[in-house]
Amino acid sequence: MSIFPQPILRYMPHEFRWDVVGTRFIWYVFTAILIVVSIGSIATRGFNFGIDFAGGVLMEARAEQVVDLSKLRGDLNGLGLGEINITTIGDTGKDVTIRVPEQQGGDQAQNTAVGKIKTQLGEQYQIRRTEVVGPKVGAELIIGGALAVALAVTAIAIYVWFRFEWQFALGACLALCSDVITTLGVFSLFQMNFDLTTVAAVLTIAGYSVNDSIVVYDRVREMLRKYKKMPLPELLNLSVNRVLPRTLLTVFTVFLTVVALLVFGGETLRGFSVAMLWGLFVGTFSSIRVGMPVLLYLDLRRDEFGGPAASSP
């Protein structure tokens, strides 16, 4: 029995006829533009690092009544701790996040800042969470996050190389790199808060993208064994169209989950949810529009695949 409601499957085409290979140059240009814009934004604008990377103090507090943000900003900015950022969480207007920039003087200065804020808030606020990150820890986390992404991409490339052939590994890496770069570009371009949950989202996107690529490549390898006389562009199109129903249904179910996280997950999971939504789009797009057509240029030899020959599906 199918896990998907019958009305959804009823409107899903049983067979797709997308010409992925024939329109590849249009999507190559589109992908190149996204990558260039992303790299340009990262180089010129950088990232809006959160407390995890930039250092400082992050506090979450709940008030007894709806918070007057203007008054609260005035009270806290008068403490001489720098430009304090205050935002509300949820729909009640009683929960706020307070971000204090890094204080000069190490951990002792950061803890002193926490004490001043708690004193200023008084008993009208209940402190629900406090995070203090020093500059040294923040710098180490930046290096660790970048290293984690780089090692993940390398490990995925090695796995695909052994699982398939080097042509598939290179195609998967090209798709994966475009996914990671454009996701980072979105956070840089719109100056969204970039923290450890964003790094987790990037790693999740990498895993999702390579899974999508492996499904498509496995079908290509199956078709290469079965239809040895079919022209390669036609075979690649057939392979993509055979897996599209599964891919679209998978994306749809994950999309519903991520939207729920975005709506109900609060401020803490907002960056993760936005990154995942973008990753669903670029991960599926790159696997089909980038990783697949590039096989035409990578000397994919049919004699490397065994099996009886056939001329048509």
Contacts with 168 (C-beta within 8 Å, 6 or more apart), sequence order: 160, 161, 213, 217, 220, 221, 295
Residues of the chain with pLDDT > 70: what percent?
88
User: What would the mean pLDDT of 130-149 be, rounded to a whole number?
Assistant: 75
Q: What is the pLDDT of residue 1?
A: 43
- Beta partners for residue 87, in sequence order: 97
What letter represents residue 26's amino acid? Answer: I
Would you say residue 36 has pLDDT above 50?
Answer: yes
DSSP E strands: which ranges in the chain? 48-49, 56-63, 85-89, 95-100, 125-133, 193-194
Domain boundaries, the chain: 6-49+138-304, 56-133
Would you list the DSSP string of 32-49?
A: HHHHHHHHHHHHHT--EE
pLDDT tens profile 274-286: 888 888 888 888 8
Does 56-133 match 6-49+138-304 at the fold level?
no
User: What would the mean pLDDT of 153-173 be, rounded to a whole number?
Assistant: 80
Q: How far apart are CA 288 and CA 212, in angstroms?
A: 9
User: What would the mean pLDDT of 24-29 be, rounded to a whole number?
Assistant: 88
Contacts with 58 (C-beta within 8 Å, 6 or more apart), sequence order: 50, 51, 97, 98, 99, 100, 129, 130, 131, 133
The tokens describing 111, both together, are 């803890």
User: What would the mean pLDDT of 152-166 be, rounded to a whole number?
Assistant: 79
Would you say residue 301 has pLDDT above 80?
Answer: no
Q: What is the pLDDT of residue 2?
A: 47
Would you say residue 160 has pLDDT above 70?
Answer: yes
> For the domain 56-133, what is the CATH code?
3.30.70.3400
Q: What is the pLDDT of residue 33?
A: 94
pLDDT tens profile 81-111: 777 778 777 777 788 888 887 777 777 777 8
Q: How far apart are CA 206 and CA 82, in angstroms?
A: 37
User: What would the mean pLDDT of 194-199 be, rounded to a whole number?
Assistant: 82
Would you say residue 226 has pLDDT above 70?
Answer: yes
The tokens describing 190, both together, are 């719109």
Q: Count Cα atoms within 13 angstroms, Cβ side, for 83.
A: 0
- For 2-11, 118-127, 167-176, 251-260, which range has the lowest pLDDT when averaged over its residues? 2-11
Q: What is the pLDDT of residue 138?
A: 66
Rounded to the nearest integer, the mean pLDDT of the chain is 80
Would you list the DSSP string of 215-268?
A: HHHHHHHHHHHH-TTS-HHHHHHHHHHHHHHHHHHHHHHHHHHHHHHHHHSTGG
The tokens describing 255, both together, are 């999309």
User: What would the mean pLDDT of 262-282 be, rounded to a whole number?
Assistant: 82
Residue with the bigger pLDDT between 305 and 91: it is 91
CATH fold group of domain 6-49+138-304: Multidrug efflux transporter AcrB transmembrane fold (1.20.1640)
Q: Count Cα atoms within 13 angstroms, Cβ side, for 145.
A: 20
- For 138-142, 145-149, 224-228, which range has the lowest pLDDT when averaged over its residues? 138-142
Total-model pTM: 0.75
Residue with the bigger pLDDT between 184 and 211: it is 184
